[in-house]
Amino acid sequence: MPNWCWNTLKVSGKAEELKKFVLETQGLPASYPPQEWEKGLERVTPTEKFFCFNALVPTPQAVLDMGYDAHGKLPQNIWDLLRQGHPVEKIDGYHWSIQNWGTKWDVYYDHISPEEMGWTEGCESIDFSFTTAWSPPQGWFEKIIQLYPELAFELHYEEPGCFFAGIMYGNNGAFSIDEFDDARCSELFQDMFDVEEKEGENDDLELSGS
């Protein structure tokens, strides 16, 4: 299992443009042919749209046809290019997702509706959280801020397991990032652990008093 990266996305701007963004982020995740270990297992395919990276940055059909994990199917020269960081058209879903979303999977099991994104008719800002595998979705973020240059974006990300955190910004379609140094990460994660510890103590008190 991967380490989980916690993300909080804040978006603000004119109500009409914000509504457009919220509704257009609702989609369905990429559907790949079953991998070998999945064959014979029952697969649950979602039919109701929700917030996902695939909605605005969709997986190409050629990648879907290749499958999520094409290890053993690709020639050696393709693997060499991938290791060197070059974009490759004939690529499997794992590598495509990392190159284009910044993380190997779509939003992890968070079926987030417009309302759960904090959106209501006429509002001019939203603020919501979601989880990704290993890293924040920087590739996805860089693409969507160019699609909606009239909106202002902030993506706060925290990954205590690998000890990194920061904030990405999108203003007028331009990307910038504030990567926290060790001191800021230590302070951030210590505050998080202190809150969790206090919540645990409160739960224990409630149980002992019941």
Residue-wise pLDDT tens digits, 119-135: 999 999 999 999 999 99
Q: Is 204 or 111 the better-scoring residue by pLDDT?
A: 111
Rounded to 5°, the CA angle 146-163-83 comes to: 60
Q: Which two tokens stand for residue 136?
A: 């924040």
Domain that holds residue 121: 4-204
How many separate domains does the chain show? Answer: 1
Does residue 209 belong to any structural domain of this protein? Answer: no
Q: Is 89 or 26 the better-scoring residue by pLDDT?
A: 26
pLDDT score at 80: 67
Q: What count of Cα atoms within 13 Å lies in the side-chain half-sphere of residue 10?
A: 7
pLDDT score at 79: 61
Instruction: Classify the C-alpha dihedral 60-65-71-74 as positive or negative.
Output: negative
Write down the residue that tokens 């919540």 correspond to: 199
pLDDT score at 44: 75
CA 92, distance to chain mean position in Å, is 19
pLDDT in tens, 41-59: 777 778 899 999 999 999 9
pLDDT band at 164 (very low <50, low <70, confident <90, very high): very high
Does residue 210 belong to any structural domain of this protein? Answer: no
- The rounded mean pLDDT for the chain is 87
Q: Is the pTM of this model over 0.85?
A: no
Does residue 116 belong to any structural domain of this protein? Answer: yes
Q: Which two tokens stand for residue 49?
A: 């749209």
pLDDT band at 205 (very low <50, low <70, confident <90, very high): very low
pLDDT score at 71: 64
Burial of 102 (0-12, 13-18, 19+ CB in 10 A): buried
Does residue 62 belong to any structural domain of this protein? Answer: yes
